Structures are given as structure tokens and as C-alpha cells.
Structure 1
Amino acid sequence: MTLLEITSRHGDGVADTSKCPASDRYVAGQEKELAQAIFLHTGWRSAGTWVWSRFRALEPVNALYEPLGNLLGELRVAEIPNIRSTSDSGHPPLGKPYYEEYRSFIQECGYGVVGYRKRFSIDRFGNTPDDEFPALRTYLKNLQDQSTGLGKLPVFKFCRSAGRLPWLRSAFPHAVHAVVLRNPAAQFASGWLLNQEWSNPFFVAAPFRVLGLNQVEPVVKQVVETFGVSLPPFVYASAEEYAAVCEQYARTAESSNAYRAFLALWSLCASRIVDGSDLLIDMDRLGQSSEYASELSAQFRARADVTPDFGGARNQFDEIKRLAIRISGIDGRLIRRTNSLAGKFALSQIDGLRDSQTGIAKVIREKLALADEVAEQWR
């Protein structure tokens, strides 16, 4: 199955709690409380912004975009109206700027969101929380508490949280942790086209940056070696300098190396799903099945008493196949071996975790089979 109910930690009954404040949400007649927040764990170019926009359309929701994004460190109220989607982003039309919901969280000095630290913007893959995690937990808890204080359900949309999924699930056990998953070839192609056609290397550079800044972690070192990823050397004074080097590196990166880096990171993130998530949102299926879209909405209604409308999702799988003719610089016939490595690595990481019957292995195999189908058309 591709909608995966990994572990239900909230009641599945549905009660009329529409008049209850978010801080006092419960399922009538049950001991289990409804979720106090929704954490959407997405990847770059996974269509996570579209999923988040479905929650943002709901009046009871305070939808917070990219709470770990590095722009929040310098964000000023006057700049918020200017930070909107561009023609090359592929994001849905948004009625409000991305960071509108952060107005009340700007520090008294006039810039920067209260409690935010630049180091939050780099995902981490350690088995145990790092020294920064208590500050990260406090920061997110403040965003959550102030949202519920307004009678709103906070919905966080992350792109930099997959490695920390188990940490966050442990720290926020009363939230729904939902993972947005898309087949990796389609996800990679979306970022590759932005670099190819719009000279935007950010999404090609991102895996190099994340892997490079985490290469001291044994599991990251292992995945880099397994996939044969060539990283820019880390001989720079700061994460910001290394990020700039990675963007320059991505502009001329050899295509198969760029894909290997992306698959290495995708595999790492996929391996965290078992111990970190409650729901899986299958983007390859969402645009193809109205029944699935309704089922997914019902899951959120039962767990959090909000009903996002997932109808009208684009068929992103068919779209990216039609775009294959525009992909240049990549020989898709060479991709199958990398996809096979991804499956072996991810499955080796989840073997024996929590519940071997969850179906995660099946979902990973499905995603990689779709990746073979997409990449086969690249020439």
C-alpha cells in the first residue's frame, strides 16, 4: 500500500470538535487526544509545498512554511510581502506570501524569527540528538504553543527534517508526523531542469551540501562510499562557505554523480521513515486516484480534526514522463544500477526496525521501480 498508516498514536474516531480551541482538542468518549500539531516532512521538489497549501487553505490552521529555512534568521516584516513564488518554482499559486504566518514571531530587534538558529537549516543523521536539538525543540515548541494559543492547529512544512525524524517524533509525540514521498527520479529531474533551464543550481547542490556537512556520521560516510559520490572537499570555515562551494560545484557537476548524490540522500531519508512517521503521503499516487485523495483527507480528519482537500492534485508522474524529452546531460540507461543500490541500502537500514511488517520495504521498492520507468526515457 502506498498510503501507509505506520503507527496510530491518536484515536481514529471522529468527533465534532470544531468549536473547541486547538489547545483543548480531544476525541469525545476516547482517552486519546487529537494531534496538537502536524509535521509535514518533505523533500526538495517532492510537491510538499502543494500539500502544505492544502492545509493553509483551512481556517483552523496556522501553516508555517519551512521553519528550518535559513531565510528566517534574517527575515524582516517589511520583506515578507516580497517573498512569493516565481514562475520557475513550480509551486501552486499562493494567496499570501510564504512567510506571512511569521509576522508575530519576528524578534523585537526587527529581524529574525524568535529562537531560530542558522544551524537548524542543516539536516542531521546521528542516532541520538545533537547539542543543538534542545534549542530546536524549544524553538518549534514556541511556534506550536503560540499557534494553539490563537486557537489554531500548527502545520509545519519541512524540507530539512528527514534525518531528524526519529528525534522530532520523540520530542513531539502528540503531533502527526507525515512524510511526503515521491519517486526519486521524478524528484531529481524537477531540480535538474531548474538548473538546466533556469540556471538555478540550488536543488542539484543540496544533496552535496547535506552529505558533505554530515560526512563525519558513520551512516553518511557509508552511503557516500556505497554510491561512489564525489563530494566537494570540506576545507572551508563555515557551513555558509561550503554551501556556496556546493552551488558552484553543482553548476558543472557530472550528471551521474549528481544523481548518485541525490539517491544517497533520498535513501538515507527513506530509511528514517519507519522510526519517525505516522503517515505516508504518496505523491505519485495522489494525482492518479481520487479515492486515495479522499482516504488521505479522512486520515487527517480522524487524527487532527482538519480535512485538507487533496482533490485536484496534478498527475506528477505522467507530467515528469512527458518532460523527459527536455532532460539533457543524463543517460537514463545508467540509472538503474544506482536505483538498485538505493533499494539495497535503504532496506538494509530498516531491517529489524520497529515492525518489519509495516510495508515500508514494499513502498521503497515501488518508488524505485517508478524511478526506473521515468529514467529509462532520459538520453
Structure 2
Amino acid sequence: MTQQSGIAPGAAGDNGHTSIKPAVQDAVVQEKGQSRGIFLHTGWRSAGTWVWSRFRVLQTVTAFYEPLHPILGDLRAADIPALEPTWTSGHPTLSAPYFTEYRPFIQDNLHGVTGYRKSFSTDRFGPVPDTGFPALQAYLKNLCDQTTNQGKTPVFKFCRSLGRLTWFKGAFPEVMHAVVLRNPASQFASGWLLHQQWSNPFFVAAPFRVLGLNQAEPIVRQVIDICGVRLSPAPVTAIDEYAAACEQYVRTVEGDNAYRAFLALWILCALRSADDADLLIDLDRLGQSPEYASELRAQVRAQAGITPGFNGARDLVAETRRNAARMKGIDGRLLRPINASALNFIASQKGSTRSRTDFIEIIKEKLALASELSEQWRY
């Protein structure tokens, strides 16, 4: 596996939570009006894999890992057993390899999951679906239909979907769209430490790549300018070539510019979440409040008829504080005005979109927390 896949040693998503116990029975029967599946929309290093794993242990659920991941274009059934968490990933121990659920959708002796295209792996921030979206919709619908025909609830953990959340909401109105949100300082620090300690550039390069590929969109260009992001000087050509150029770029990138790019993408995704999420899963709060974990479980049960257990989440905010001394190559004092500019921009959006006020307030709280946490980072 390559580092670009996001599953290679040191390249998978982040959590640092407890291991997963064997599958448990979920006895809830889906009622009329409840969602017919769950789309978990997450970001890289957001602890989304841990959340997904809590659904995966339920016997009434079929939980698909990253259905937009580029590896699915070439995946063979024989490859799946080797795709397990590495000790640097921070992922929980899983009862089965990541992509096990795709095995029925891979033809014998062939490469690739049925219906998947590698173009699906690039997030987009346009206001309306692009020409490739019908194929993406058909691909996901096939996975959903095959799962529901077996009497199971489909749960998808996305990592490249937040820019297209409005598209997914329109195409799959019967699904509960849940967004995993983590404060940007903690989320950035997780990827930065992998880059710093294990020479893994993927998670630092990803925001530059996504922003560069979408910079023609007015909202993307506006946020790039607000955050003062300096994109890779490489021309935007083929997606793979541009991705490689971004990974090369971040090998010597200044820490504050890496944070600017990450924060710009975080803001864009957070705004889409405020517009279209059916449920917000607050990872900072989840690790600090057993009461919130119980409340979240009840909300999922009410909307989707299944009851995942969210107990056992570690306090990732406290871990960010403890790891402050490990953050090298970045001065947190330079980040305060960047966070302030982002906060002002978010505040200016209230009333200008259909965003829910409660979501906007949570986003503002996350930015304030990011300023507090990053203040401790020194060279």
C-alpha cells in the first residue's frame, strides 16, 4: 500500500480509543419514518474511524469503510486480509480488516469494486452536482440496496464527502447524514505529528490538494484568501500528478502555512455541515462527557433505529494538551490571528446561508478551543 492510500503504516485515520469487542446484537426494529442507513461524513484524523467501528460491531449493520477511497479502484479480494490497522495509525483494533464488506462487490480474479471510479475520491465544493455525480450516486445506491435487501442497515464512513454533503443530502434523503466534528487544532496536530515523526506527508498535503483542485469555486477562493494560504506553485494538471506535487511541497512547508491550509479546508467542511447535517457528532465532547455519549446513542436510535455504544472514547482534547511539547516546526503564537480571521468569517455567515444557528455556535466554539490549544505550540 502507498502512503497516499491513507491506510499505510502511519497513514490511516486517527483515534487512540479502546479496542472493539466482538459483534453485539442490536435488537431495535426500524420504525416508520426512520432513516434507511447512515452516512458518516468525517475528515482525516477526526476520529471518524473509531465512530464507524462502533456501528460495525452491530450485527444488524453492514458498515462500509471509506467508499470513496482510491484503493477501491484496484482492490482485489486477496488484498483485503492485509489491510489492518498499524500501530502508528491510532485506530482501534478491528474484528475484520477495513474493506471486508466490499468483498461481495469484487468479481473473482478482477480488480476493483463494482461501480467505483477513481474520480470519486476527490472532494468537490461546487453548489450543484457535477457530471460525474450520477455515477457516484448509482455506485452508492447499489451498495445500499444490496445491504438493505439482506435485512441490514448500511453505514458508510466517508472521508472525502463533506464538500459534496449538499449533493448527497439531495440524492439520499432517506439516509441520516451525520457529521463528525473535531476542533481544528487537535485534528491538525494529529496529522502534523505523523508528518514530523514518521515522514508521512499525506495528511499535511491533503488540504493543499483539495483546495488547489477546487480553487476556481468562489467560496473556496474566498476562504483561501481569508486564511492566507500559499498553495503549491505546481500547475493543476492530472489529479495524481498534482497530488504528488503537493506531497513534495509539504516536505519543506512552513508550519503556519500548513495550518492555514488545514484550517481553510476545515472551515469549508464545517459550513457545509452546518447547512446539511442531520446529526453532529462532537468528538471533543464525546471523550469528556459520558452523558453526551448516552445522549448521542439515543439520538441515533431515534433517527435510525440502531443503538451503537459510544462509551470508551478517550479525551482527545486532553491528549492534545499533553502532546503540545511534541509539536515541532510550528509556533502556535502565529496561529492566533489566523484563527481569529476564521472566527470572524464564520460569524459573518450567520444569516447569509441556511445554516443552523446551533451548529454555527459550535463551530465558533471549536475555533476558540483551537486558539487555546495551539497557543502552547513552540518550535
Q: Same fold (TM over 0.5)?
A: yes
Mapped partners of 1:267, 1:157: distance in 2? 20
What corresponds to 1:372 in structure 2? 371
What corresponds to 1:247 in structure 2? 247
What corresponds to 1:351 in structure 2? 351
The reply to whether residue 34 of structure 1 matches residue 39 of structure 2 is no
Q: Are the equivalent residues in 1 in contact too, given 2:333–2:374 (CA < 8 A)?
A: yes
Q: Are the equivalent residues in 2 in contact too, given 1:274–1:350 (CA < 8 A)?
A: no
One-letter identity of the residue aligned with 2:31: Y
One-letter identity of the residue aligned with 1:295: E
**RMSD of aligned alpha carbons:** 1.5
What corresponds to 1:77 in structure 2? 77
Mapped partners of 1:257, 1:355: distance in 2? 28
What corresponds to 2:217 in structure 1? 217
SS in 2 for 1:281: strand
The reply to whether residue 112 of structure 1 matches residue 112 of structure 2 is yes
What corresponds to 1:189 in structure 2? 189
Instruction: Please give the per-residue CA displacement for 1:265-318, whole angstroms capped at 9, x wherever unaligned.
Output: 000011111221111111111011000000000111111111111011000000
Mapped partners of 1:19, 1:183: distance in 2? 32
Q: Are the equivalent residues in 1 in contact too, given 2:85–2:94 (CA < 8 A)?
A: yes
Mapped partners of 2:276, 2:136: distance in 1? 17
| Equivalent runs, 1:288-303 vs 2, <5 Å | 288-303=288-303
What corresponds to 1:7 in structure 2? none
CA positional deviation for 1:109: 5.7
SS in 1 for 2:329: coil
What corresponds to 1:61 in structure 2? 61
The reply to whether residue 287 of structure 1 matches residue 287 of structure 2 is yes
CA positional deviation for 1:340: 1.2
CA positional deviation for 1:352: 3.1
Mapped partners of 2:243, 2:351: distance in 1? 33
One-letter identity of the residue aligned with 2:58: L
The reply to whether residue 90 of structure 1 matches residue 90 of structure 2 is yes
What corresponds to 2:274 in structure 1? 274
Mapped partners of 1:219, 1:283: distance in 2? 26
Percent identical across equivalent pairs?
A: 62
Q: Are the equivalent residues in 2 in contact too, given 1:274–1:353 (CA < 8 A)?
A: no
Q: Are the equivalent residues in 2 in contact too, given 1:184–1:266 (CA < 8 A)?
A: yes
Q: Are the equivalent residues in 2 in contact too, given 1:268–1:346 (CA < 8 A)?
A: no
- Which piece of structure 1 moves more, 326-335 or 338-347? 338-347
Mapped partners of 2:199, 2:354: distance in 1? 43
Instruction: Please give the per-residue CA displacement for 1:71-91, whole angstroms capped at 9, x wherever unaligned.
Output: 101000000000111111111
CA positional deviation for 1:263: 0.4
CA positional deviation for 1:361: 2.0
What corresponds to 1:127 in structure 2? 127
TM-score normalised to structure 1 length: 0.90
Q: Are the equivalent residues in 2 in contact too, given 1:115–1:139 (CA < 8 A)?
A: yes
Q: Aligned pairs, how many? A: 353
One-letter identity of the residue aligned with 2:312: G
SS in 2 for 1:359: helix
Shift in alpha-carbon separation, 1:347–1:70, aligned structure 2, 3 A: farther
Mapped partners of 1:37, 1:276: distance in 2? 16
CA positional deviation for 1:151: 0.9
What corresponds to 2:362 in structure 1? 363
SS in 2 for 1:68: coil
The reply to whether residue 52 of structure 1 matches residue 52 of structure 2 is yes
Instruction: Please give the per-residue CA displacement for 1:89-127, whole angstroms capped at 9, x wherever unaligned.
Output: 111111110000000011456110111111110100001
Mapped partners of 1:265, 1:162: distance in 2? 10
What corresponds to 1:147 in structure 2? 147
Mapped partners of 2:223, 2:372: distance in 1? 24
SS in 1 for 2:346: helix
Mapped partners of 1:76, 1:367: distance in 2? 40
Q: Are the equivalent residues in 2 in contact too, given 1:114–1:139 (CA < 8 A)?
A: yes
Mapped partners of 1:368, 1:236: distance in 2? 30
SS in 1 for 2:275: coil
What corresponds to 2:172 in structure 1? 172
What corresponds to 2:157 in structure 1? 157
SS in 2 for 1:178: strand
Bigger relative contact order, structure 1 or 2 (CA pairs below 8 A, ≥6 apart):
1
| Equivalent runs, 1:253-268 vs 2, <5 Å | 253-268=253-268
One-letter identity of the residue aligned with 2:282: D
CA positional deviation for 1:252: 1.1
The reply to whether residue 304 of structure 1 matches residue 304 of structure 2 is yes
TM-score normalised to structure 2 length: 0.90
Mapped partners of 1:93, 1:144: distance in 2? 26
CA positional deviation for 1:347: 3.5
Mapped partners of 1:184, 1:322: distance in 2? 16
